[in-house]
């Protein structure tokens, strides 16, 4: 992994602050605006287009699940919690709701940029990890089809499993596909088996 860190710019981003009218809300808005972020404030509900925002900042002390139009597990964008209490229940709720950075109240004239960098970088890393896990789970689920394709090649070429697997690898490299996709294609061509329907 590269040790170089490119200073991120948030100019042109959009943020929604879900917070009652208050000095803390205004202070957070001013810092975001100085960074070039377009800010919308909302209370008690997020606007209908909230999922298109690049960032959500919310009051972790009083907000609740019903104010968010997406399920807890969705977490469609980076979220920063504004926290004036360290009550375990509120901290736990903020994390479960999607906060990956926070700012302590009262909001000071600095601090938003650091929280924004942490939130966006952590969000990107989580999304990348989720995509990798999904791909690995998909490949794992297709192991039976790979084994079936190896058996098919063994039958047609009268060879052993190692040789058949090497043939499958060569086919994957030549076609620039994964071994799993090549196995599905091979089985589909061999007999119209329903395992080829994954691509539909």
- What is the architecture, at CATH level 2, of domain 142-193? Orthogonal Bundle (1.10)
94 and 103 Cβ atoms separated by less than 8 Å: no
Chain segment 106-142, per-residue pLDDT in tens: 999 899 999 999 999 999 998 888 788 888 888 888 8
At 4 the pLDDT is: 53
Domain with CATH 1.10.10.10 in the chain: 142-193
Indicate the pTM of the whole model: 0.70
At 134 the pLDDT is: 80
CATH number of 14-136: 3.40.50.2300
The reply to whether omega before 106 is within 30° of 0 (cis) is yes
Strands 79-83 and 55-59, sheet pairing = parallel
The full 3-state SS of 103-129, as one line of letters, equals: EECCCCCCCHHHHHHHHHHHHHHHHHH
Which pair of structure tokens corresponds to residue 75?
Answer: 């977490």
Domain with CATH 3.40.50.2300 in the chain: 14-136
Chain segment 128-183, per-residue pLDDT in tens: 887 888 888 888 888 899 899 899 899 888 888 888 888 988 999 998 998 889 98
**pLDDT-based confidence at 105, cuts 50/70/90?**
very high
Task: Provide CB contacts within 8 A for 111, sequence distance 6+.
Answer: 31, 103
**Mean pLDDT of all residues in the chain?**
89
């Amino acid at each position: 992994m590269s040790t170089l860190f490119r200073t991120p710019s948030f100019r042109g981003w959009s943020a929604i602050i879900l917070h009652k009218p208050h000095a803390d809300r205004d202070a957070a808005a001013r810092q975001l605006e100085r960074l070039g972020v377009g800010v919308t404030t909302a209370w008690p509900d997020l606007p209908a287009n909230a999922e298109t925002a690049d960032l959500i900042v919310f009051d972790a002390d009083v907000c609740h699940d019903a104010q968010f139009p997406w399920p807890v597990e969705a977490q469609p964008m980076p979220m920063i919690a504004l926290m004036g209490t360290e009550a375990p229940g509120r901290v736990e709720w903020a994390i479960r709701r999607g906060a990956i950075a926070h700012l302590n109240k009262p909001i000071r004239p600095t601090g938003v940029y650091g929280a924004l960098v942490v939130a966006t970088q952590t969000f990107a890393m989580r999304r990348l990890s989720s995509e990798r896990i999904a791909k690995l789970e998909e490949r794992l689920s297709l192991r039976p089809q790979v084994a079936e394709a190896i058996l098919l090649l063994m039958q047609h070429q009268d060879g052993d499993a190692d040789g058949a697997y090497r043939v499958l690898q060569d086919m994957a490299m030549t076609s620039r596909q994964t071994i799993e996709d090549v196995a599905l294609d091979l089985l589909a061509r061999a007999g119209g088996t329903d395992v080829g329907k994954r691509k539909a």
